[in-house]
Amino acid sequence: KSPNRNLHTAAKLLVLLGICSPALGEKWTASVVKSLEAVVGSCVVLPCSFNYPGTLLPTSRLRGIWHLSKEDTKIVYSEDNTKVLDSFKGRTNMLGKLGDKNCTLEITDVKDHDNGPFCFRIELVKTHDNKETTEKYSFVDECAELKMQRDPPEPELFQSNTAVQGKPYAITCSVRHTCPSHVPVFTWSRGSKDDVIHIQKPVLSGIWETQSIMVFIPEEKDDHTQITCTAAFNGGKVKSRSIQLNVKRIGNIYHIIIPVAVAIGTAVIFGVICIAVMKKYNMFNRLSRMSRR
């Protein structure tokens, strides 16, 4: 009986291994944008997501930590602020919701030494006392580095076709950045807030574009004037760009048509008068010759 019992136990074990092997093959993973530009004095957002096998865990069971490179003791973000490096205290914030597998990090007041690499770690905690467990997952192969920029980029200006006097006209001012949590603020040298609409959209992973579109009706006095768009970035740095507005005046067409029409009309009238005079002159000559006979 003993051999049969052993065979029965082995069979159960094989069944269990067959059921569990797919889950055991899965592992905790994370994904970040490995390189981003950041403007010194402004802010930057590091996109991050993670995944794991099994059922979805609530945020209360998860604790997210960001640290420098492979030195997991040099913490740049933690719920426990006492563990954070002094140079990062008050400057980091977890924008992502861990329950949604989002570990996105925000860094404000970027310093020229905030190059990273920044790595994410997830820890499981007990729900009844919020104490950490032995389950910790570090993703040191998925870290983000920052390339420092002293100044933000200049805005780009785009005009729609040709500006025509009295007809609606649009000018678009856009700038790319890496801080969607604090988008650049645009101002124009003319118009009001009611003339402007703003659009925020992702361009690439970690890179965003903010657009300011001004719609107005140009007048004759606007021809050859300068229009300036200014973008104010988080942290106080400002960049501007200007373009010259060329307005096609409707009156210009009439200035050309009317003189030409007058000239043509004058020529026609003059021609008619000349023909009439010549006819009268010819008739007078005939009558003169007949009277002599």
pLDDT digits (tens, 9 = 90+) for 139-189: 999 999 999 999 999 999 998 788 888 888 899 999 999 999 999 999 999
Whether residue 24 is predicted with pLDDT greater than 90 in this model: the reply is no
**Helix (H) or strand (E) run with residue 162 in it:** none
* pLDDT of 39 above 60: yes
Predicted local distance difference test score (pLDDT) of residue 273? 57
- Structural tokens at position 185: 């603020």
Q: Residue 229 burial (CB < 10 Å; 0-12/13-18/19+)? A: buried
Domain(s) labelled CATH 2.60.40.10 in the chain stretch across 29-149, 156-245
Task: Specify the higher pLDDT residue, 270 or 135.
Answer: 135
pLDDT attached to residue 217: 86
- Using CA atoms, how far apart are residues 76 and 83, in angstroms rounded to an integer? 8
Q: Which of 34 and 278 is assigned the larger pLDDT?
A: 34
CB 66 within 8 A of CB 83: no
Contact 111, 87 (CB under 8 A): yes
pLDDT (tens digit, 9 = 90+) per residue, 199-244?
999 998 899 999 999 998 888 888 888 999 999 999 999 999 999 8
pLDDT at 267: 56
> Which range (13-27, 116-130, 235-249) has the least confidence?
13-27
Q: How confident is the model at residue 8 (pLDDT cuts 50, 70, 90)?
A: very low
Between 110 and 250, the more confident residue is: 110
- Comparing CA positions, the residue from 43, 78, 61, 65 lying closest to residue 119 is 65
Report the C-alpha gap between 136 and 148 in whole angstroms: 31
Domain 156-245 has CATH 3.30.300.30: no
**Residue 193: is its pLDDT beyond 90?**
no
Say which residues have a Cβ less than 8 Å from residue 236's Cβ, sequence separation at least 6: 41
**pTM of the complete model:** 0.72
* Three-state DSSP state, 19: helix
Cβ-proximal residues to 95 (8 Å cutoff; 6+ apart), any chain: 45, 102, 104, 105, 106, 181
Task: Render pLDDT for 236-292 as a digit per residue (tens, 0 to 9).
Answer: 999 999 998 888 887 655 455 555 555 565 555 655 555 654 555 455 455 445 444
Find, among 166, 160, 162, 256, the residue nearest to 220 by Cα. Answer: 166
CATH fold of 29-149 reads Immunoglobulin-like (2.60.40)
CA 178 – CA 180 distance, rounded (Å): 6
Residues whose CB is less than 8 angstroms from the CB of residue 207 and which lie 6 or more positions away in sequence, other chains included: 36, 176, 177, 178
Residue-level pLDDT at 22: 34
Distances (CA, A) of 223 to 117, 187, 192, 214, 248: 52, 21, 19, 17, 8
> Which three-class secondary structure state does DSSP give residue 13?
helix
Tell me: the pLDDT tens digits for 54-108?
889 999 899 999 999 877 889 999 999 999 999 999 999 999 999 999 999 999 9
